[in-house]
Amino acid sequence: MARRPSYEESWNLTYLVEQLRELISLDFPLDDTLSHELEGTLTRLVTRHQQLRGLHHLANAEHPAEDLQVLHEDLEHTDHELLTTLPGLLEKLRDVLL
């Protein structure tokens, strides 16, 4: 069975997403590479939201454990990707502001 993100991992992801939200609310120029990286990250965040909704829906509808396990694994993979890539993206965005 897939491992659920720890409280610390969930908090870290929430904190990183909040920092991203604050940075992208500022008006600054992005080159094509950084713009593409930001777009990919935002797409992964939307995917994560959809995965969470799907997991919640399946859990409430009492679907087979295998279905829930697949969604848990997908969500864990997405969380790992975001926790790995968000710090670098935030650093690049901050560098553009300096």
Within a domain: 73:
yes
Q: Which two tokens stand for residue 96?
A: 């553009």
pLDDT digits (tens, 9 = 90+) for 20-69: 999 888 887 889 999 999 999 999 999 998 888 888 787 777 777 787 78
Number of domains in the chain: 1
What is the pTM for the complete model shown?
Answer: 0.79
The residue segments making up the domain with residue 47 are: 33-97
Q: How far apart are the first and last CA of the chain?
A: 45
Q: How far apart are CA 81 and CA 77, in angstroms?
A: 6
Within a domain: 37:
yes
Q: How far is CA 44 from CA 15, 28, 77, 78, 79, in A?
A: 16, 22, 11, 7, 9
Within a domain: 14:
no
Q: Which two tokens stand for residue 62?
A: 């009492």
